[in-house]
Chain A
Amino acid sequence: EPEVTQTPSHQVTQMGQEVILRCVPISNHLYFYWYRQILGQKVEFLVSFYNNEISEKSEIFDDQFSVERPDGSNFTLKIRSTKLEDSAMYFCASSPGLRSYEQYFGPGTRLTVT
């Protein structure tokens, strides 16, 4: 069964450093998402991406964040200058369409900012 994959599974970085989290969505899906879950809190929407552009973003997704689909398979989330409060589990998801199509989630990348 196709699945969303994410690398790395765990990333440790120092405050102020740039990080790139990578995701490979399911191959025939058209919509891509990033969510995050701070430890002990709920999953929060960050951004959705369709047709090579952001279709929606939350207030969390400020200028420090960016997303890119550099080729036909990868979908990346970049944090330019990490803060301590960026420490969280980051989930990538993809879906074949809107409305009735569910989002398939990857296993997540745990980001620890020290």
Chain B
Amino acid sequence: AQSVTQPDIHITVSEGASLELRCNYSYGATPYLFWYVQSPGQGLQLLLKYFSGDTLVQGIKGFEAEFKRSQSSFNLRKPSVHWSDAAEYFCAVGDEAGGGNKLTFGTGTQLKVEL
């Protein structure tokens, strides 16, 4: 069965510093990978997605992620963090094998930004 691991539960960075959030997945076929962000009291907003092609994908709000098949990873990066980036970030893998295209989420990484 597919699974997603986000090893960092909490991360604190200073505003302006670079950011990398880790995500490892387990999936038998070519994965569809996503990063979502959840601000307090809000729903999940898609940051970026990977399906095929270029392994470096660009998303909204200046985020990017790199798919590395050899490491089963899909880490999220941002070169300079803004205070408004404080939120919870979820990595997810899509699975249509069951006919429903369900998303399997990781446990999330809570990002705190220090001013």
Q: Please report A residues at the B interface, Cβ cutoff 8 Å.
A: 4, 31, 33, 35, 41-45, 47-48, 50, 54-58, 91, 93, 95, 98-100, 102-108
Contacts and interface: CB of A to CB of B under 8 A. Distances in A.
Interface string B40-56: 01111110010100000
Given A41-B107, A42-B106, A42-B107, A105 B101 contact: no
A31 B104 CA distance: 16
A43 B44 CA distance: 10
Q: Which of A43, A57, A104, A108 has the most CB of B within 10 A?
A: A43
Contacts of A44: 105
Main secondary structure of the interface of A (DSSP, over half): strand
Interface of B: 32, 34, 36, 41-46, 49, 51, 90, 92, 94, 96, 98-108
Given A100-B32, A100-B51, A45 B43 contact: no
A99 B102 contact: no
Given A31-B101, A102-B46, 7 more contacts: A31-B100, A33-B103, A41-B107, A43-B105, A55-B99, A91-B44, A98-B101
Q: Which of B51, B92, B101, B104 has the most CB of A within 10 A?
A: B101
A91 B101 contact: no
Contact of A103 (B42, B98, B103, B104): B103
A59 to B, nearest CB: 11
A3 B46 CA distance: 12
18 contacts: A31-B100, A35-B103, A41-B107, A42-B105, A43-B105, A45-B102, A45-B103, A55-B100, A56-B100, A56-B102, A91-B44, A93-B44, A99-B32, A99-B94, A100-B32, A100-B51, A104-B46, A105-B45
In the A-B complex, the 8 residue pairs with the smallest Cβ-Cβ separation, listed nearest first, are: A56-B100, A48-B100, A105-B44, A45-B102, A56-B98, A55-B100, A107-B43, A43-B105
